[in-house]
Amino acid sequence: MKQDDFSTLISRSDPGPGDGGRTGSWRVLRPVIDLGACIPSKTNKRACFNCWFYCPDGVVSKTIPPVIDYEYCKGCGICAEECPAGAISMIEEAHFMEEKNDECI
C-alpha cells in the first residue's frame, strides 16, 4: 500500500473567478463610484486604490477609473467604508431593478 493510495478526493480548486458561482446575485446593496470624487479618476494619477486594496473578493480593478465587476461583487460595502474621498455609495439593488423595469415599460 502506498501513501498515494490515500486522500485521493479532497475539495481543492485553482484560484479563478466563478469557483463559488456568480456571487453578484447575493448583493443587496450595489457600490457605485462617483468618478468626479474618486481620487485616481479626478487626478488621473495612479494613487489611492483603497477600493482595490481592501476588496475581499478582488473584484475591483486597479485602473483609472477603478471598475467593479458586478458579476461577483457581493455588496459587502468595505470599499465604500474605506474610500477616503467618500466617492462610493451603496445603493439598493431594488433601485436598479426599478430602473430596468421602467426601461421595459
Q: For residues 12 and 9, give the distance between their C-alpha atoms in angstroms, rounded to a whole number.
A: 9
Burial classification of residue 54, based on how many CB atoms lie within 10 Å of its CB (0-12 exposed, 13-18 middle, 19 or more buried): middle
Number of residues that bind another protein (CB under 8 A): 19
The CA-based dihedral angle spanning residues 76, 54, 36, 90, taken in that order and rounded to the nearest 10 degrees: 10
Give 19 or 102: the residue with its C-beta nearer to another protein.
Answer: 19
22 vs 46, which CB is nearer to another protein? 22
What gap in Å lies between CA 95 and CA 99, rounded to an integer? 6
| Minimum distance from residue 63 beta carbon to another protein (Å) | 23
- Find the part of the chain contacting another protein (CB under 8 A) among 3-11, 32-40, 55-63, 93-101: 3-11
Taking CB under 8 A as the binding criterion, the range among 6-14, 32-40, 73-81, 93-101 that sits at the site for another protein is: 6-14
Is position 15 an interface residue for another protein (rule: CB under 8 A)?
Answer: yes
